[in-house]
Structures are given as structure tokens and as C-alpha cells.
Structure 1
Amino acid sequence: MSDRDLEGWTIAFDLDGTLVDSAPDLIGTLNRLLVEEGLPPVPMASAQTLIGSGARALLAHGFEAAGASAERAQSEALFERFMSDYSAHIADGSLPFEGVVETLERLKDRGAILVVATNKRSDLSELLLEKLDLTRHFAAIVGPDRVSARKPSGVHLREAVVKAGGDPERAIMVGDAAPDADAAKDAGMPCILTTFGYTPVPVETLGGDVLIDSFEDVEEAIDGILSDFYVMRALKF
């Protein structure tokens, strides 16, 4: 294995639940709004079922979990309050998952292009990654506002890879939930899924190519996928 054996490959990462455990601050903002609205806060354990589909869905599901109607959470003013509070507290308790920094550094040393492909708004993604000193690892940070279609569309992944300077035909997705798995399938990309992220359904049912229990297992999963890729290519000739 050469020192730069991942040159020509792009690894696309989801953000919340994959790179960063952002539940403390997302649920923290939700709970502050619930209390302001005279509703009970939701337990942190709710994060797995509430996070993953964007701020509006988080508000709707959070209000339902607190015993209110989802319609009550659809106010544009409430959404703006959520975004303002979350921006102010975006990295109070959020941290990279164990092994993230070391793994990203090794992947870059091996020549891989790294890109973030997230349904989190790009400015918020950049703010969070900057505060956690993770921005330096990525060639591009691509939220739904920077592509023509968001996950679960494969267009999101393919356009994100191109924006990072990579080839969508040589790219791998790393995520934690259905939008990641579905987008990877739609884009024709292999998909690695974490078992420690935010998904309301069992991750085993999402159709990922490889499941990992620790971020430190990302490299081994990538190596396995690439081994299969080169074997299949050799069999065609």
C-alpha cells in the first residue's frame, strides 16, 4: 500500500451524527424554545429520533414530543428564534466524535479529498466546524443551499464531490441516517453508516454497505470498499 493510495478518491461526510455529536446544542436550543412557549423540555435521549431532517423537522417533532401540535411549530418567527439561539450556542456542548480528527488527518495524508455533504445550512455548518477546528480538513463544506437538490437526492453528493474537486465515480459516502444511505444509493456511491448517529429507525435497515461502531473504523471500511472496487474492475478485463 503506497503512502498516497487514496489519491483520486473523495470521501463525503455527513455532519450531525457522523462527524460531530451536535445533540447537546440542538436539543438545548429546542428546549429553551419549548420552555419559552410554556411546554416541557424533551430529554436528551430524544435526540436520536428528533435530529437528522433539518431544523424545521426538529421543531415540529420536538413540539409533538412535548405534547403540542406540529402546526404550532411552523411559525416563521419561531424558526428564526431557533436559528438565532442555535447560532449563539452552536458549539457549547457539541464535540467531534472520538477518533474524528486523527482519522481525517490520516485520510488526507493518504491523498483523499474530504468534503462535508450535509442537510444542515452551509453557514451553520461552517460556523460549527470552524469552532471545532475541523474546517481545515475539508476541500468544501456543502449544505443544501449550495446544491440543486438536497439529500436524499444523489445530486447533493455528486455536486458536493465536484465542488471539492473530486470525481463522483470515485467517491464514498459516510453518514448515519436514511438521507445519507438513500443519497449514496441514488448517486451510485458506496455508503458507510455509523451506528452511533441519529436515526429513528435501526441503522441496519438502511442499506449501507458497511456499518461501523466507531469513527476509528472508517479507514478499514474504506479499504474494504476499495479492495472490492479494484477486484471488480480487474474482473472486467
Structure 2
Amino acid sequence: MACPSGRIQFALSIIPAPMTNLSGYTIAFDLDGTLVDTVGDIHRALNHVLASEGIPPAALADVRNFVGLGARALLIRAFGAHGIHHDDATLDRLIDLYIATNSADIAALSRPFPGVVEALEVLKAWGATLAVCTNKRGHLSVQLLTALNMGRHFAVIVGGDDVQNRKPHPDHFIHAIRAAGGDPARSAMVGDSINDVLSAKAANAPVAVYAFGYTDTAPGLLGADAVFTQFTDLPDLLVRLLKL
């Protein structure tokens, strides 16, 4: 094609990079602080429970560090910060209130972290099977991911109440992989906390940690195989961790 200078100009075709084959591999994801930024809705529901007991609201920054072991641990840590320790019956009542409050508008403030949906689509296009392995209750996890139109990406969603031993126990991770039809020997974990790292490591699976999740320990000190700062890097990172 002629250009104004009289030189010949060629149009360069863009050749897509060869597609990586992740067929037969299963990737498990944590939910809160990994796939979805849920701290705003957790903060709102927790403060409703605290107010019902006459306790001042928790700071958002503190709630980020309370998340990770499910609703019971969340409330124990939040009340424990005020030196309050409830008996099991009272704690069960407060957990029910927390869950009802959270469930009533579960995705009011929650959104997937930037690049998450695109990364999931790439991994699926490469043949990977995806699972959710979270200490959040199973029905709340399904409700949240459905509200955000994200449930369609996952073969299975395994909550903390769906297994006898939740994270950091390896049984939770192994159960999620097998429930998705996968082999733990051909799998990896993506999370944000020590519970994710310990669960995957005990199952001899590689684990990558998102740098901007919910943890009171610096991500680089969690013992993960890799720490990443943006989800656009995750598909290639997982390929390296799986040594493909």
C-alpha cells in the first residue's frame, strides 16, 4: 500500500500466541479477599451485630484482618478485641444475626477484584477446571457469586460448612479439587491468607497469593510459591508454578 512518502507500507497481521493447554488441571480459588473484595459488606454486617450488643463499630482496616476462618472466627475476633468472650449459645445467636444481615444484601458493596473475571476466562479457555475453596459458608458463597454473575465460571463451590475439616486443613482443598473432577496432583491454589497456603502446601500443591487480599501477615511472609499483584499475570504465573 502506498503512503504519502512514496514508500511501500505493509500491514502486519497479529498472530495470537499459542494457547497453553491446562486441560486436566484444576485451580482452586479462595473467595473473600481473592476473587471478590467483600470487606465492605462483611464490615456492614459485622457492625450491625456489634451494635445489637452495644459495642462500638469495628474499623474497616481491622475487619480486613478478621476475615479468613468463617463467621464464627470473625465474631470471636471482633468481640475479643473488646475483651468480650461469649458462650456457645450466645455466639450461635450472633452468628445467625450476622448471616441474616449479610445475606439480605450480600453484594451491595462487593465486587470482583480488577482483572479477576478476565483471568478466569483465560484459564477456562486454556482448558483448566476452576473451583472455589472458601471458609465462607457454602450457601452464602453461591449466593454471592450468583449475584455477581461469577458462579458460571466454577465447576464447584465448596464452603467451610461443606467439609468436616476446613482450611487450613488440606482436606478442604483436596475435597474441592476432587469435587470438581480433578486430581490433587494436577492442581494449584490461589488465595490471600495463611489458611490458603497451609491447606495447599499440606496437599503438596503449589499456591499463589494475591498481594492485596485480607491478611494480617505480609503476603511475602506467608510461605506461598508466588505473590502476584495483578490478575492479568495470574494465568502465566500458574503455568510456571505447574511447571508446564
The Cα of 1:114 is off from its aligned counterpart by: 0.3
**Equivalence for 1:71:** 86
Which residue of 128, 133, 136 corresponds with 1:112? 128
Scaled by the length of structure 2, the TM-score of the pair is: 0.88
Question: C-alpha offsets along residues 70-99 of structure 1, whole Å, 9 cap, x if unaligned?
Answer: 337952211111111111121110110000
**8 Å CA contact retained: 1:147, 1:160:** no
Structure 1, 74-83 or 96-105: larger mean CA deviation: 74-83
- The answer to whether the aligner puts 1:192 opposite 2:203 as a matched pair is no
Give the Cα–Cα distance (whole angstroms) in 2 for the partners of residues 53 and 129 of structure 1: 19
Gaps of 5+ in 1: 231-237
**1:71 is paired with a residue of what secondary structure?**
coil
Q: Larger Cα Rg: Structure 1 or Structure 2? A: 2
Do the aligned residues in 1 keep the contact of 2:72 with 2:91 (CA within 8 Å)? Answer: no
Q: Which amino acid aligns with 1:44?
A: L
Q: Which amino acid aligns with 1:51?
A: V
Report deviation, 1:68.
4.4
Q: Which residue of 1 aligns with 2:147?
A: 131
Shift of 1:36: 2.1
CA distance in 1, matches of 2:31, 2:96: 22
Tell me the SS of whatever aligns to 2:237.
Answer: helix
SS of 2:86 mapped into structure 1: helix
Supply the distance in 1 between the matched residues of 2:131 and 2:201 (Cα, whole angstroms). Answer: 18
The answer for the alignment partner of 2:191 in structure 1 is 175
Change (3 A) 1:70 1:200: farther
- Residue identity over aligned pairs, in percent, reads 44
Contact 1:63 1:72 in 2 (8 A): no
Distance 1:63 1:150 in 2: 22
When the two chains are superposed, the root-mean-square deviation of aligned CA atoms in Å is 1.6
2:172 matched to which residue of 1? 156
**CA–CA distance in structure 2, aligned partners of residues 205 and 48 of structure 1:** 17
Q: Please, which moves more after superposition, 73-82 or 43-52?
A: 73-82
1:144 Cα deviation after fit: 2.4
Q: Give runs of aligned pairs for residues 36-55 of structure 1, distance below 5 A.
A: 36-55=52-71
> Which structure has the highest helix share of the two?
1
User: Which is further off, 143-152 or 132-141?
Assistant: 143-152
Counterpart CA distance in 2 for 1:77 and 1:158 is 31
One-letter identity of the residue aligned with 2:162: R
Q: What TM-score does the superposition give when structure 1 sets the normalisation length?
A: 0.91
Q: Give me the whole-angstrom Cα distance separating, in 1, the residues matched to 2:54 and 2:73.
A: 20
Aligned position for 1:221: 237
- Counterpart in 1 of 2:11? none
Matched letter for residue 47 of structure 1? V
